């Protein structure tokens, strides 16, 4: 069988021409009688899983060695007979597990010894491998589980050297950018553009072109942030969590102050049990909810795995009417287990106030 063919099950039995010295007695007996399944195959590798869940991994080599005949078990015992000429068959040399190119037979007799019985319903390629489910999941709604492939991406780009903030505002409006223009509190000529879209192509095809052609802007790469909304699996309204609420939050004209920063958890957090992780996150989340209930601070949580140049895990946005509560919520969260024990990095922090926001509706 070639690597691109995956049967549902097969038995491997030594060919009558096998050399016992190349096998080792225990491996010979085990491979002669145990039924295994192919669970993964590559162009140069084949992984088989025995019914007792022991995994045997094989590799291809381009050399002629002793080989085995293979009897493939098909559904309802329906089988066909095929020649294994120029095919690769499982073989073992010492303790090295290989799959050997048998080469062309030298005679009809050798051809018959390489004959293979294979099933009608073989599966080719990687068809048996289930692709990952990338959809966002929420809690039950109207008695049905929620799933969605829509999520909101947000990108923050900060610049120095902006001497015409009103001109930049007009350029963003004319390009119909959905987002916010912030004045940088810590730079008298600094601004930042927060853009949002469910289509990340917009950042390249729309926002990038506007900013690249506007004169005088000097990028501050340390404040470049890109992330996506995500679900935890129990949200009562998935679209509200992934799209509507984050968009309303950053575009609310009453909430002009913002603090944006990235963070990275350390590996110890990932090693905790699911229950311990939920407990730690609940402690952290309770503080955020209390500030939100008082209309002091509202948070944006974005995942940025693989999207951040510094390999951060999340981008956090704190949005509110006043600046002080945004600082206070960061201070309060310093005492939580997540911040004190399980963070590798926090920041840098961009602090700004919105001078322009696109329309919520």
Is 90 exceeded by the pLDDT of residue 244? yes
The pLDDT tens digits for 144-176 are 999 999 999 999 999 999 999 999 999 999 999
pLDDT at 202 (0 to 100): 96
Is 90 exceeded by the pLDDT of residue 178? yes
225, 304 contact by CB (below 8 A):
yes
Q: How confident is the model at residue 52 (pLDDT cuts 50, 70, 90)?
A: low
Is 90 exceeded by the pLDDT of residue 33? no
pLDDT at 309 (0 to 100): 93
Is 70 exceeded by the pLDDT of residue 59? no
Q: Which of 242, 162, 163 is nearest to 196 (CA)?
A: 242
How far apart CA 235 and CA 133 sit, in angstroms, is 18
The pLDDT tens digits for 210-230 are 999 999 999 999 999 999 999
> Left, alpha or beta for 311 (phi > 0: left; psi -120 to 50: alpha)?
left
Is 50 exceeded by the pLDDT of residue 64? no
Q: What is the pTM of this model?
A: 0.66
The pLDDT tens digits for 268-324 are 988 989 889 889 888 888 999 999 999 999 999 999 999 999 999 999 999 999 999
Q: How confident is the model at residue 34 (pLDDT cuts 50, 70, 90)?
A: very low
Is 70 exceeded by the pLDDT of residue 261? yes
How far apart CA 122 and CA 119 sit, in angstroms, is 6
How far apart CA 179 and CA 359 sit, in angstroms, is 9
Structural domains in the chain? 5-124 (no CATH), 136-357 (3.30.70.1030)
Who has greater pLDDT, 75 or 243?
Answer: 243
Burial class of residue 294, CB neighbours in 10 A (0-12, 13-18, 19+) = exposed
Q: How confident is the model at residue 53 (pLDDT cuts 50, 70, 90)?
A: low
Q: How confident is the model at residue 27 (pLDDT cuts 50, 70, 90)?
A: very low
The pLDDT tens digits for 76-134 are 444 433 333 333 444 333 333 333 333 334 443 443 333 333 333 334 444 578 899 99
Is 50 exceeded by the pLDDT of residue 325? yes
pLDDT at 125 (0 to 100): 46
């Amino acid at each position: 069988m070639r690597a691109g063919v995956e049967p549902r099950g097969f038995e491997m039995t030594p060919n009558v021409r096998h050399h016992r010295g190349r096998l080792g007695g225990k491996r010979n007996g085990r491979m002669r009688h145990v039924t295994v399944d192919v669970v993964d195959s590559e162009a140069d590798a084949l992984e088989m899983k025995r019914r007792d869940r022991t995994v045997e991994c094989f590799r291809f080599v381009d050399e002629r060695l002793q080989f085995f005949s293979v009897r493939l078990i098909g559904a309802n015992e329906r089988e066909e007979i095929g020649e294994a000429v120029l095919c690769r068959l499982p073989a073992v040399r010492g303790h090295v597990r290989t799959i050997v190119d048998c080469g062309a037979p030298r005679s009809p007799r050798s051809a018959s010894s390489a004959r293979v019985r294979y099933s009608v319903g073989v599966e080719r390629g990687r068809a048996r491998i289930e692709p990952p489910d990338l959809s966002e999941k929420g809690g039950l709604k109207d008695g049905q589980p929620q799933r969605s492939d829509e999520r909101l991406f947000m990108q923050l780009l900060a610049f120095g050297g902006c001497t015409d903030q009103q001109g930049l505002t007009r350029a963003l409006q004319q390009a119909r950018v959905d987002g916010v223009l912030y004045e940088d509190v810590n730079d008298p000529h600094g601004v930042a553009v927060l853009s949002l879209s469910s289509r990340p192509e917009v950042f390249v095809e729309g926002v990038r072109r506007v900013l690249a052609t506007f004169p005088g802007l000097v990028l501050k790469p340390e404040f470049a942030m890109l992330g996506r909304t995500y679900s935890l699996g129990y949200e009562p309204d998935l679209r509200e969590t992934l799209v509507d609420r984050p968009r309303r939050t950053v575009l609310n004209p009453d909430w002009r102050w913002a603090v944006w920063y990235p963070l990275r958890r350390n590996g110890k957090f990932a090693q905790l049990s699911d229950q311990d992780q939920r407990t730690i996150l609940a402690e952290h989340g309770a503080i955020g909810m209390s500030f939100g209930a008082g209309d002091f601070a509202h948070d944006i949580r974005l995942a940025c795995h693989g999207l951040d140049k510094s390999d951060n895990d999340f981008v956090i946005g704190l949005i509110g009417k006043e600046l002080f509560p945004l600082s206070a919520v960061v201070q309060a969260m310093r005492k939580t287990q997540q911040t004190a024990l399980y963070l590798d990095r926090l920041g840098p922090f961009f602090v700004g106030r919105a001078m322009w926001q696109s329309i919520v509706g």
